[in-house]
Chains A and B, each alone.
Chain A
Amino acid sequence: MSDAAAAAELAARASYGRLVAYLAAHWRDVARAEDALGDALVAALETWPRTGVPDKPEAWLLTAARRRLVDGARHAGVAAAAEADLTLMLDEHADDAGRAPVSDERLALLFVCAHPDIDEAARTPLMLQTVLGLDAARIGSAFLVAPATMGQRLVRVKAKIRETGIRFEVPERREMAARLPAVLDAIYAAYGSGWEDVAGADPRRRGLAEEAIWLGRLVARLLPDEPEALGLLALMLHCEARRPARRDDAGAYVPLREQDVARWSRPMLEEAETVLATAARFAAPGRFQLEAAIQSAHAQRARSGAADWEAIALLYEGLLRCAPTVGARVAAAAALAEARGDEAGLRALDTMPADAVAAYQPYWALRAQLLKKLGRTGHARDAYDRAIGLSEESAVREFLMARAAEMR
């Protein structure tokens, strides 16, 4: 790749979200903002190799993108309201085109993506595309959706933002508590989409974990007084720190309690602890802080040699009060089994509704393990089969088959 192409790529990656957010906020049209910036990037790749890379590539891209928007609007005959905006935008930058710092509208854009009027399933894909510039094929792969379908969903949701006139603004203080969880949930969903691909066998999926952490850092920086934003960042860092330990050298699956703590990333664990401690100073616990605290209690094994299961079980009790998801209930049962015995864990699993767990792999994997330890071999074998059949990863299937075979 030539220097110019590399510089264009670099400028694009560094400023894509800022520029899309800025243009979309002023134009109130996400799709057009993306198209204009896309055109500007193409123009840059054509122009820069001849003219050299400009001093401020971001400003160049913004000017070029704005010109596209203006041309496009004139061509289409814009509505009066948009024209007014357009004039304002041009005035703002008339004297020092690009030299004025671009205001950071990314937080407003994130709140648009996670707006109550936007379908919950569309929120994370929308964030990944608008703020990070990921394409529909990559987002589709991460969320197990056909690329064409994902593309159509994104087009529809952007049209909805334009048509319903969702405002590009960060909610006021009093609204924040109601609106922030949707933003954090969407970011965590992006992280979760990369979670299953433990081995990093699929770099396209593994990438989303890093992208989600990037978004988590962004929100934590832009909203430094929101403990839950810090909690989410701490949670993702804790999980990510363990990624290298989740497979052994032969690629075999290693469950959390058997992981070699030497393979956990110390810098990431330390950062997670620092961020969580900062969140705790606000004395306003919430779902993500509790989840991060649970991971912190697991991480204690790296310091003291043993995880504090009683503390973990108590933290899960707290978590279930504010976020009783299927995943949290299964994890809580696992903690209960460690802290108070396998029977207690199994009883917790028994209280879960059958339809909620029919296709939930972790439920069957835990159930199988507890039944096996309790010597109920027949039922254990059945549960192992169910867990194996619901697994998406061959490493996990092989692990479960080996455990089931130990019963013969």
Chain B
Amino acid sequence: MNMANSVEIKKLDLSFGSIEVLKDLNLDIAEGEFLVLLGSSGCGKSTLLNCIAGLLEVTDGQIFIKGKNVTWAEPSDRGIGMVFQSYALYPQMTVKGNLSFGLKNAKFPKAEIEERVARAAEILQIESLLNRKPSALSGGQRQRVAIGRALVRDVEVFLFDEPLSNLDAKLRVDLRVEIKRLHQQLKNTMIYVTHDQIEAMTLADRIAIMRDGKIMQLGSPAEIYDLPMNKYVADFIGSPSMNFIQGDIKGQYFTIGDHKIPLKNYSAKVDLNDGQKAWIGIRPEHVVVGEAAQKSDYNSTITADIVEPMGADTLVWSKFAGQPFRIRLGGTFPVSSGQKLHIGINASSVSLFDLQSEERL
């Protein structure tokens, strides 16, 4: 891992009055990386993005872009381009005016402005729209123009602030793919803020899950999904979310009342103490049924309360050890409410968290 860092954030603090939004935040983003900042509203992800863009003054700490300390630099001098949730296209200017505004402010010669606008328009396939006003564009076209505004300036880092939140579900999926394609084509560093875990999982090289101004976990989508470092991350990622049941670690077993789940296939991060109280986290899609249940580490029988068929898969709401329990089955699995189900759990796919600290065990 000897890649140059594109963006480095060191000991960043940001407070509004007495409210601390970001606390001692450190983050290194590699050249060409697609990093997603994921979190629920109010976690500080957009604030962090605004700090990187220079639209908010930091209370303490430093920001480096391409090795240069830009903590005090103006937004336009940082080598960043930003795409906003509302796209923020200048309504009185044509698409061409929107694209060239930044270049005109930077006093580029006319010929070069023309050339750069033409190139960006070609990459984004908006050549035919150059003389239109933003009000005459569709949502997808507006987004492309917004990206183009960053593109013409030849920036080092693209910043996206929830760019798909304003669109309907179908268009969102299309444009998500388009952003990914653009990243593969341009190979710029991109920082993308979202509260949508599907967007995060599909787009990111690495995801930073944030809560209360801190990064809870930073890792690839697979790491975050398979090995959540704490209960919050485990709960946040995955839909429907993970089942959590409280119990005790006794020897090689996790016991919940009468249920004893063997843990010999669980790869623990720390030594498990006998008698330790803990949470077990089981993803609904990791619960197996039918023949596979027989072969699993532990099996039991539950009753399906509510069945929600969703086409590709079916959700079953049930109870396990007296606790609410969700299972996700294939769409073709025959199940109806009231039916008894034989389920199996594999220790290799569960997560254990300390009861107090909620950190992974």
Partners in one complex: no
Contacts from A to B (Cβ < 8 Å): none
Q: Which residues of chain B have a CB within 8 Å of any CB of chain A?
A: none
